[in-house]
Homo-oligomer: A and B are copies of this chain.
Amino acid sequence: MSVDTLRYYERIGLIDPPARDSGGRRSYSEDDLGWLFFLTRLRTTGMPIRMMREYAQLRHRGTTTAVQRKQMLLEHRAAVRARIAELQSCLEVLDYKITHYEQFEHSEGITA
């Protein structure tokens, strides 16, 4: 994760401004790092930034929002699973194409 991305996340409110050392430099706590780690998992799985912000805001409001956050994660997990299924379905097309490549080198059209 680049420094610029880190700053960007801070600017848009995805992460709280971390503590600073005596020289004014950012010093990330273990919790900061854990949260960042989790954020990167959400990003990797394709959650849009705006949704991550929403989640971050809920988190900021404390334990009373736990149910909503859990709900978001449940929905996101479903989306990720769907995405995996979609990719696997496309993989089949790719497999078929590769296996039978010689037969329709030029006529990409026939897929079944």
**What chain B residues lie within 8 Å of A94 (beta carbons)?**
41, 45, 73, 76-77, 80
Q: Please report the C-alpha to C-alpha distance between residue A33 and residue B63 in the assembled complex, in whole angstroms.
A: 52
Determine the main DSSP class of A at the interface with B. Answer: helix
Q: Is A91 an interface residue (CB 8 A)?
A: yes
In the assembled complex, the CB of A70 is this many whole angstroms from the nearest CB of chain B, namely 5
**When A45-B94, A63-B106, A70-B98 are in contact, do A111 and B80 touch as well, CB less than 8 Å?**
no
Q: Within 8 Å CB of A53, what residues of B? A: none
Interface residues of A (CB under 8 A from B): 29-35, 37-38, 41, 44-45, 59, 62-63, 66, 69-70, 73-74, 76-77, 80-81, 83-84, 86-88, 90-91, 93-95, 97-98, 101-102, 105-111
> What is the copy number of this chain in the assembly?
2
| Contact partners of A84 in chain B: CB under 8 A | 84, 87-88, 91
Asked if A93 and B41 make an inter-chain contact with CB atoms under 8 angstroms apart, the answer reads yes
Q: Which of B45, B70, B83, B93 contacts A101 (CB 8 A)?
A: B70
CB–CB B91/A77 < 8 A: yes
